[in-house]
Structure 1
């Protein structure tokens, strides 16, 4: 049976994925635990700025009340900063992960 370029490209891709899976199994990194760790980091990256905004806003409302409700405004600022932080962090991790995969893949013919 004769193989064409599509078949050989498919087999090369399949071999790369199998090699990557075997390496991950040897390293002993369970995907579920690393996924939960990622969710924890993302959650804390949002929660910490929100809580800081709440605390500082509440303190400002107690200290110097005025026309503005500092608690709500700083809560929103904390949420915005937390989301921006997560976007940059996830983008960096995504790029790092794909750079590592590109380095390990064999060159295509």
Structure 2
């Protein structure tokens, strides 16, 4: 077993330098990829919002059309509005989960 303090210090210094280098590389990559993080955040919120709103409105419009052209005992508007909302929420959740997986995979690749 080699207990040379100079070699151990050199080894620990190299490991520390590798970690610092990896973090710096990640930060530079993130800055190049998204320089306006605030606007990117607003864009993501808008994208998620529209992915919920569009199916909800489509369901409501389809329900109104069905109620107008095929009147019956039960109204379709509320049922299709709720179905559109559920589909929109599922779409938004699926998109956020996919982006979260991509971020974690990118972080894992950076740690290697």
* TM-score, normalized by the shorter chain, greater than 0.5: yes
Q: Does residue 25 in structure 1 map to residue 42 in structure 2?
A: no
Shift of 1:22: 3.0
Give SS of 2:60's match: helix
Q: Deviations over 1:32-80 (max 9, x none)?
A: 1111111011000000000100110000000011111111110000000
> What number of residue pairs does the alignment pair up?
100
Corresponding residue for residue 34 of structure 1: 40
Q: Structure 2 length normalisation: TM-score?
A: 0.75
**Can you give the 5+ residue segments of structure 2 that lack an aligned partner in the other structure?**
1-8
Corresponding residue for residue 77 of structure 1: 83
Alpha-carbon separation, structure 2, partners of 1:25 and 1:73: 45
Give SS of 1:42's match: helix
Alpha-carbon separation, structure 1, partners of 2:32 and 2:100: 22
Q: Does residue 61 in structure 1 map to residue 61 in structure 2?
A: no
Larger radius of gyration: 2
Change (3 A) 1:59 1:15: same
